[in-house]
């Protein structure tokens, strides 16, 4: 249970940090090889691009986890001044729309992976199967779906507390 709690709190942090370090290392390696040794590494450019794509999707989940993503709270904030209860209901409705969008992304990203797997396409420089590269999208979307589900559960708990107060 302790391991689950730790992973729940930090899985996106570990994934994003690892991918950022890997991506940065490859970029520095490219620069050194190009300007110091006058040689270019084709494999590192491609691999750094793929690491960056994965970094973006895991970081998006990190942003959702800690609510650091771009959001428009104008209506929720105005409504909160009038009635915190209605503001919380609006927040829950928005979260349900968000989870609907994420489930749409989850479904179709898995379809993309299945198609890539069937096609057998590989990357030009490293010969990495492209379905592995595309796995970043459903992984990030599924992590975001999990995090939004957690926010929905917490929002219902807050709603229950608000109802008890009134």
Nearest in space to 139 (alpha carbons), one of 15, 22, 47: 15
Q: How many whole angstroms separate alpha carbon 47 and alpha carbon 53?
A: 10
Q: Which residues contact 10 (CB under 8 A, 6 or more apart)?
A: none
Q: pLDDT tens per residue, the chain (166 residues)?
A: 788 888 888 888 999 999 999 999 999 999 999 999 998 888 888 999 999 999 999 999 999 988 887 777 777 778 777 888 888 888 999 999 999 999 999 999 999 999 999 999 999 989 999 999 999 999 999 999 999 999 999 999 998 988 887 6
What does the alpha-carbon distance between residue 47 and residue 103 come to, in Å, rounded to a whole number?
Answer: 29
pLDDT in tens, 15-42: 999 999 999 999 999 999 999 999 888 8
Q: Where are the domains of the chain?
A: 2-165
Residues 102, 96: Cα–Cα separation, whole Å? 10
């Amino acid at each position: 249970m302790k391991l689950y709690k730790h992973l729940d709190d930090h899985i996106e942090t570990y994934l994003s940090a690892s991918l950022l370090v890997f991506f940065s290392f490859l970029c520095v390696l490219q620069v050194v090889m190009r300007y110091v040794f006058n040689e270019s590494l084709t494999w590192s450019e491609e691999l750094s691009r793929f690491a960056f794509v994965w970094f973006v999707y895991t970081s998006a989940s990190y942003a959702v986890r800690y609510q650091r993503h771009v959001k428009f709270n104008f209506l929720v904030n105005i409504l909160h001044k009038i009635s915190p209860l209605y503001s919380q209901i609006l927040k829950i409705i928005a979260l349900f729309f968000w989870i609907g969008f994420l489930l749409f992304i989850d479904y179709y990203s898995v379809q993309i992976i299945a198609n890539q797997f069937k096609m057998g396409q590989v990357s030009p420089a490293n010969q990495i199967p492209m379905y592995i590269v595309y796995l970043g999208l459903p992984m990030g979307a599924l992590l975001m779906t999990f995090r939004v589900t957690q926010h929905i559960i917490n929002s219902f708990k807050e709603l229950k507390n608000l109802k008890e107060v009134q």
